[in-house]
Every structure is written in C-alpha cells, then in structure tokens.
Structure 1
C-alpha cells in the first residue's frame, strides 16, 4: 500500500461509483422484464448472482488504484 497520495484513488472511486450505478440501473431496468414471471426462488438466485458478479473485477481494479499495476 502506498503512503503517498496519487490521482488513481479518487479517479478510481469515481469510475467505480459510475460503473456500479450504470450496472444497477441496467439490472433494475431490464432483468425484471425477463424474469418477472419466473418462480420466486429462481428470481432470488438470479438477483443474488447479479448482486455478486460485480465483485469479480474488483480485486484487479483496486490493485490498479493503489499501485498502478494491472495485476
């Protein structure tokens, strides 16, 4: 972890906020139309997966924010 401030942390936080907002809006807009008639347990599983899937690229993104390296 770096002890010196750098531009990547605030820019990275803004990028993360915008990206998650867009992702959430897209999920909230389009997914209910597709799975609205399905069984509630299947819907719950799909929303659980979609709620966790954004975590997949997060580690590499946080590494970039802290060090500037890609992985």
Structure 2
C-alpha cells in the first residue's frame, strides 16, 4: 500500500529546539528566582503583576524558534 506522503527523515532541529526551550525556561527561572528576596518585599499585588509579566516573557522567543524547528528557516 503506497502512502501519498511517505514519512520524512527525523530532523535534528526538533530535539535541539526542545533543549533550547528547556534552557530558556531554566535560565529565566534561575534569574527570576534569584530575585525572590527583592520581589518578596514588595506588596502582594505588585508581586502578582511582576510574576505574571515575567512568567510570560519566555514565550516571546518561541515563535521564531518553533518556525526554525519545523522549516529550518528563522522566518516564514
């Protein structure tokens, strides 16, 4: 039985990209966690805003990285 789209060879970019994503998350968690003494002294409402913003920053570099993982190009 012939498949119209045979499976392609696995790409090295996907595991590499996965490790880069894990590295970004680890680095940001370490940097943000190291500031917990400073941020911990702020009012709770300000801490919530800061952690909300910092918790979403790591998403910014993911789009070009995910495009690269799929296509091998940094832009569409």
TM-score (norm 1): 0.85
- Find the structure with the greater CA-based Rg: 2
Stretches (4+) displaced over 3 A: none
The equivalent of 1:48 in structure 2 is: 52
- More helix per residue: 1
More relative contact order, 1 or 2 (CA 8 Å, 6+ apart): 1
Q: CA RMSD in A?
A: 1.2
The answer for unaligned runs of 5 or more in structure 2 is 1-6
Q: How many pairs does the alignment contain? A: 68
The answer for unaligned runs of 5 or more in structure 1 is none
TM-score (norm 2): 0.80
Q: State the SS of the aligned residue for 2:58.
A: helix
